[in-house]
Amino acid sequence: MCGIVGYVGGRSALDVVLAGLKRLEYRGYDSAGVAVLADGSLAAAKKAGKLVNLEKELSVRPLPAGGTGIGHTRWATHGGPTDVNAHPHLDGAGRVGVVHNGIIENFAALRAELADRGHDLRSETDTEVVAYLLAEEFSSCADLAEAMRLVSLRLEGAFTLVAVVADDPDVVVGARRNSPLVVGVGEDESFLASDVAAFIAHTRSAVELGQDQVVELRRDAIRITGFDGRPADDARAYHVGWDASAAEKGGYDYFMLKEIAEQPRAVADTLLGRIDAAGSLSLDEVRITASELREMDKVVIVACGTAFHAGLIAKYAIEHWTRIPCEVELASEFRYRDPILDPRTLVVAISQSGETMDTLMALRHAREQGAKVLAICNTNGSTIPRESDAVLYTHAGPEVAVASTKAFLTQLVACYLVALYLGQVRGTKWGDEIQAVVRDLSHIAGAVEEVLGTMEPVRDLARTLADKDTVLFLGRHVGYPVALEGALKLKELAYMHAEGFAAGELKHGPIALIEEDLPVVVVVPSPRGRSVLHDKVVSNIQEIRARGARTIVIAEEGDEAVVPYADHLVRIPVTPTLLQPLVATVPLQVFACELATARGNEVDQPRNLAKSVTVE
Ligand code: F6R
């Protein structure tokens, strides 16, 4: 939520910052702004709406050229998406400029304090107070990093701050608590950003900041200290494993289309190197001993949105393969119900970004109660894996479209691997059984490719439904979370009323919603796996069709039983029952993407949303 960029070096800071903001626009697009240090003063421009509005403004009123600058793309929290509330915020004298991601919870008290000292703040944001406080501190210590440290100590909440001051034009300073901030180390130039994507075109050398740290960035030097003023010794330097082309559309109209198409590779990459010659599975980082894992008597999965749906599917695999009870909980609800946790609880936190505040707070709560946390994450070095006891990275590559697609499929693969790993350590699965499932998983990339090759009728169908108000989704067993995911994709992209139901639950109420020509998507389990399951879902299709529904049936190749009841039939390859979500989800992604396009919606940047949700 909110994207931040800072630059100091020999290039045009404005060009670097604008290009970085373009890459970070997925984090928020309510407004954008930049500030550049030139000729001993600070020049800023900001505009409500997408980055393109700021670019237009800059073409009419250009900023002077300079080698130090900051920029921001906003997802509004305090104050509406207006020009005045857009970042950067400047102090009264216009000497200090600051951009911010997060929420400063005690801003009202700080603002009142500033008002008492005669300052007249212009915006409704929580951020503006920081510009004034920094200016006050800087006027007494003449050191922006020190001023930032002192101000950070006064702030409550989550914040990433990046600031510049006109009096020290070769320095950019950042501070981090609970929101992401990464340093990019170039040749005689340095970068700061919420995500490496912002500077990947210039350098792949990155340093991640720890919690409660301040960084002072010069062209040729980076100094990191804790909020306590001590030099930081835990900053981790790393090489980014992908390049700028991975963060570009590569000929597709939307990032979402590219990311849907990348799923076969993402799935294959997530599996890569997981199993050794002796047939043993491995995770990426494990600071939980085998004996601790054997002692676990409960697994609790915490996640949000699409990642939560991956967790719901994981429950089936974990319980079936390990016989450990598994609960799945929305991370935003988790800590408020005072869950029962102890060192024998394994908490699995699933997050694409690794920065989702609800999930982060849930895992912190779990660790405070003595539970061990295993993270499934797509973002190397992000906060959630850093604070976990074990990590399995999904190798989906950067996911830019706000609606999650390839991250979801790779989260599923990772969940299956975690379930198998637990089965291996606890001895509930034999080596050959594990290898058989891994073999099945290794066929999934090809199966997804096959599904992608047959999506034209799904696109045609989606276009014909563009004027519908409601679409329902039904599934049973692992098909139920797939139905939830299909409905979520449609809501967030097409802005339609879409709901997912457990097919068996329909008769307990929701069937009253069925009316003539209402589109209902049904995910049908394999007839070969659990025939009881399959037959029940076929009966459910008949029940809704008898009441007028237009049935859109997703069923395995060769499943002839569904044919008489399917108004539209979408075939998916034969897959083991537990793994079916990996192929059944793909048509639902394509369906939502096409329907959104047909309704004229912004596919990559749906309204009101942001990719990385760093507020609770
Ligand atoms: C939906 C979507 C969101 C995210 C959720 C969690 O398409 O992308 O529901 O899945 O905000 O995000 P992460 O996985 O980054 O924790």
DSSP conformation letters of 133-201: HHHHHHHHH--HHHHHHHHHTT--EEEEEEEEETTSTT-EEEEEESS--EEEE-SS-EEEESSGGGTTT
Close Cβ partners of 195 (under 8 Å, ≥ 6 residues apart): 3, 23, 24, 27, 180, 182, 379, 612
CA of 1 to the centre of ligand 1 (A): 12
Q: How far is the CA of 304 from the centre of ligand 1 (A)?
A: 6
Whole-angstrom distance, CA of residue 362 vs CA of residue 384: 10
Strand, helix or coil for residue 485: helix
Whether 164 is in the pocket of ligand 1, judged by its Cβ within 6 Å, is: no
Q: How far is the CA of 352 from the centre of ligand 1 (A)?
A: 7
What's the gap in Å between 152 CA and the centre of ligand 1? 29
Q: Kindly state if the Cβ of 410 falls inside 6 Å of ligand 1.
A: no
Pocket lining: 405 vs ligand 1, CB cutoff 6 Å: no
Distance from first CA to last CA of the chain, Å, rounded?
11
305 lines ligand 1 (CB under 6 A): yes
Q: Out of 26, 306, 376, 495, give the residue to mutate to test ligand 1, the one with the largest number of ligand atoms within 8 Å of its CB.
A: 306
Residue 330 Cα to ligand 1 midpoint, Å, equals 12
- Residues belonging to the active site: 2, 611
Q: Is 304 in the pocket of ligand 1 (CB under 6 A)?
A: yes
CA 259 to ligand 1 center in whole angstroms: 15
Q: Are 161 and 152 contacting, i.e. CB atoms less than 8 angstroms apart?
A: yes
CA 18 to ligand 1 centroid distance, Å: 26
Nearest CA to ligand 1 atom 9: 305
Query: Does the Cβ of 356 fall within 6 Å of ligand 1?
Result: yes
Which atom number of ligand 1 is nearest to the Cα of residue 308? 10
pLDDT at residue 462 in the model:
98
Domains recognised in the chain with CATH numbers: 3-246 (3.60.20.10), 255-442 (3.40.50.10490), 452-598 (3.40.50.10490)
Find where tokens 């396009």 sit. Answer: 597
Mutate to test the pocket of ligand 1, among 260, 308, 352 (most ligand atoms within 8 A of CB): 352
Token digits for 324?
């450990």
Q: Residue 306 CA: which ligand 1 atom is closest?
A: 10
Atom of ligand 1 nearest to the CA of 407: 14
Q: Kindly give the number of the ligand 1 atom that is closest to the alpha carbon of 411.
A: 14
Q: CA torsion sign, 456 to 459 to 463 to 469?
A: positive
Nearest CA residue ID for atom 5, ligand 1: 305
Residue located nearest, by CA, to atom 6 of ligand 1: 304
Instruction: Establish whether residue 307 lines the binding site of ligand 1, counting it when its CB lies within 6 angstroms of any ligand atom.
Output: yes
- Residues of the chain where predicted confidence (pLDDT) is lower than 50: none
Q: Which two tokens stand for residue 263?
A: 């799923």
Closest-lying ligand 1 atom to the alpha carbon of residue 353: 15
Quote the CA–CA distance of 264 and 255 in Å, as a whole number. Answer: 16
For the chain, helix, strand, coil in percent to 5 are: 40, 25, 35
Confirm or reject: Cβ of 492 under 6 Å from ligand 1.
yes
Q: Is 353 in the pocket of ligand 1 (CB under 6 A)?
A: yes
pLDDT at 282: 84
- The CB of 485 under 6 Å from ligand 1? The reply is no
Whether 403 lines ligand 1, by a CB cut-off of 6 Å, is yes
User: What is the pTM assigned to this prediction?
Assistant: 0.84
Q: Is 352 close to ligand 1, i.e. is its CB under 6 Å away? A: yes
Question: What is the per-residue pLDDT for 280?
Answer: 84
Q: Chain centroid to CA 197: how far?
A: 14
Residue 496 Cα to ligand 1 middle (Å): 19
* Cβ proximity of 616 and 105 under 8 Å: no
Give the ligand 1 atom nearest the CA of 408.
Answer: 10
**In this structure, which residue's CA is closest to atom 11 in ligand 1?**
305
Backbone angles phi, psi at 366, to 5 degrees: -60, -45
Counting atoms of ligand 1 from 1, which one is nearest the CA of 612? 15
Give the three-state DSSP class for 313.
helix
Interatomic CA distance for residues 360 and 221, integer angstroms: 31
Q: Which atom of ligand 1 is nearest to the CA of 384?
A: 16
Closest residue by Cα to atom 3, ligand 1, is 305
Which protein residue's CA is at the shortest distance from atom 8 of ligand 1? 404
Q: Is the previous residue joined to 339 through a cis bond, with omega within 30 degrees of 0? A: no
For ligand 1, whether the C-beta of 359 sits within 6 Å is yes
d(CA 611, CA 378): 13
Ligand 1 centroid – CA 405 distance (Å)? 10
pLDDT of residue 608: 86
Whole-number Å distance, alpha carbon 394 to ligand 1 midpoint, is 14
Instruction: Tell me how far apart the alpha carbons of residues 404 and 410 are, in angstroms, rounded to a whole number.
Output: 11
Q: Cα of 609 to ligand 1 centre, how many Å?
A: 10
